[in-house]
């Protein structure tokens, strides 16, 4: 048994040998800790440390670039400034992260936490309220999944800057007889086409030239002038994945530096957690002492009462089901194997009843 912790004292109190612990710095927020022991240990166990070393070297290459490259050629700085321009000057509320690779399906959710937990702030580091917009709503889906989900809004609705991420070398190309291009090339055709559609749109004149009925022309016009950027990776492997992660980490830090906020705290997540402690105690008191729900607003009081009363009915019903099941087991089961199978069946029935 090994541990990953910032607190070796607690590791020892838990009963583990501190010599079998991997430490990391207590000033590294969870969202920035992928390259620390808490991120690297499970990756190394899964893929082997040689592969993880490639990932770390990729991230380190961008770290060095960010530290040494002139500002005008510094990728994280340029991307950070673009985001500041989009948010604070163009007042764009969100950013879409659109990797054209299924292997990057979890990139957008990770960047969502990295960005929104870091830069979702309304006050500067000195405590004064910001008089400009900071932070953005991050979301995304890989490839054509997003195209058939939210691209409609991106093309003809709100102004949402997009990050398109493509790969030159496919991880698993398939060439079908009779098709003009491979499956990967088909995907990349969309990667190249979508930014052009956002940038240039379609005018009334162009729509009319296509013979579109007059009543449909307004619906098939695209304003264009919608911002996006494209990142083209030579291949998608451990090294370039590390580069991509570090690129976004530094970009988000640059945004925080320019906005004058602290990208490395997250006080906004604390209030709800502290209120949940109060709710937990209320639940316990209701079930053990019969105390009524009080000291909440009307809406929460109503919903909490409904939840607790409904849960009481479910628990009572499930308990009755288990008692009935066990009573029948005593008379029907003769061997331990029969008993085990019957217990599993009763447990499954009770679970289905609770869920259903």
Q: Is the pLDDT of residue 301 over 90?
A: yes
Q: Strand 21-23 vs strand 3-5: parallel, antiparallel, or unpaired?
A: parallel
Q: Considering the candidates 148, 284, 316, 332, report the single residue annotated as catalytic.
A: 148
Q: Strand 162-167 vs strand 228-233: parallel, antiparallel, or unpaired?
A: parallel
| Known catalytic membership, residue 312 | no
The whole-chain average pLDDT of the chain stands at 89
| Known catalytic membership, residue 273 | yes
| 77-91, 172-186, 316-330: least confidently modelled range | 316-330
pTM over 0.75: yes
Query: Residue 90: is it exposed, middle or buried by C-beta count within 10 angstroms (0-12/13-18/19+)?
Result: exposed
Q: In the chain, where are the structural domains located? A: 1-47, 55-265, 276-311
pLDDT of residue 353: 47
Per residue in 245-292, pLDDT tens? 999 999 999 999 999 999 998 888 888 888 999 999 999 999 999 888
Query: Residue 111: is it exposed, middle or buried by C-beta count within 10 angstroms (0-12/13-18/19+)?
Result: buried
pLDDT of residue 188: 93
Q: Considering the candidates 65, 117, 155, 184, report the single residue annotated as catalytic.
A: 117
Q: Is the pLDDT of residue 352 over 50?
A: no
Per residue in 189-222, pLDDT tens? 999 999 999 999 999 999 999 999 999 999 999 9
Nearest residue to 327 via CA among 344, 351, 343 = 343
Whether the CB-CB separation of 160 and 154 falls below 8 Å is answered with yes
* Residue 92 phi, psi dihedral angles, 5° rounding: -75, 130
CATH architecture of 55-265: 3-Layer(aba) Sandwich (3.40)
Q: Considering the candidates 9, 209, 219, 273, report the single residue annotated as catalytic.
A: 273
Band (pLDDT 50/70/90 cuts) for residue 179 is confident
Count CB neighbours of 175 within 10 A: 10
């Amino acid at each position: 048994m090994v541990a990953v912790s910032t607190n070796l004292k607690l590791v020892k109190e838990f009963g583990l040998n501190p010599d079998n612990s991997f430490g990391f710095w207590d000033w590294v927020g969870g969202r920035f800790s992928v390259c620390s022991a808490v991120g690297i240990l499970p990756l190394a166990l899964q893929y082997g440390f040689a592969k993880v070393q490639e990932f770390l070297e990729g991230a380190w290459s961008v770290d060095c670039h960010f530290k040494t490259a002139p500002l005008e050629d510094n990728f994280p700085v340029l991307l950070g400034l673009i985001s500041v321009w989009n948010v604070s000057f163009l007042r764009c509320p969100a950013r879409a992260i659109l990797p054209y690779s299924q292997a990057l399906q979890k990139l957008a959710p990770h960047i969502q936490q990295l960005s929104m937990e870091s830069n979702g702030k309304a006050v500067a580091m000195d405590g004064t309220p910001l008089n400009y917009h900071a932070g953005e709503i991050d979301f995304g889906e890989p490839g054509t999944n997003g195209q058939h989900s939210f691209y409609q809004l991106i093309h003809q609705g709100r102004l949402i800057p997009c990050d398109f991420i493509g790969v030159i070398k496919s991880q698993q190309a398939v060439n079908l007889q009779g098709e003009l291009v491979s499956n990967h090339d088909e995907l990349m055709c969309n990667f190249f086409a979508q930014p052009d559609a956002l940038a240039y749109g379609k005018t009334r004149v162009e729509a009319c030239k296509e013979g579109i009925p007059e009543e449909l022309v307004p619906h098939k016009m695209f304003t264009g002038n919608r911002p996006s950027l494209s990142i083209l990776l030579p291949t998608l492997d451990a090294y370039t994945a590390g580069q991509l992660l570090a690129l976004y980490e530094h970009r988000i830090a640059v945004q925080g530096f320019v906005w004058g906020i602290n990208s490395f705290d997250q006080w906004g997540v604390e209030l709800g957690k502290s209120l949940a402690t109060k709710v937990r105690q209320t639940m316990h008191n209701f079930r053990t002492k019969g105390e009524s729900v009080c000291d909440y607003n009307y809406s929460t009081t109503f919903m909490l009462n409904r939840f607790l009363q409904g849960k009481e009915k479910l628990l009572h019903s499930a308990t009755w089901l288990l008692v009935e099941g066990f009573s029948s087991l005593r008379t029907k089961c003769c061997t331990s194997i029969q008993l085990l199978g019957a217990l599993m069946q009763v447990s499954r029935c009770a679970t289905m009843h609770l869920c259903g």
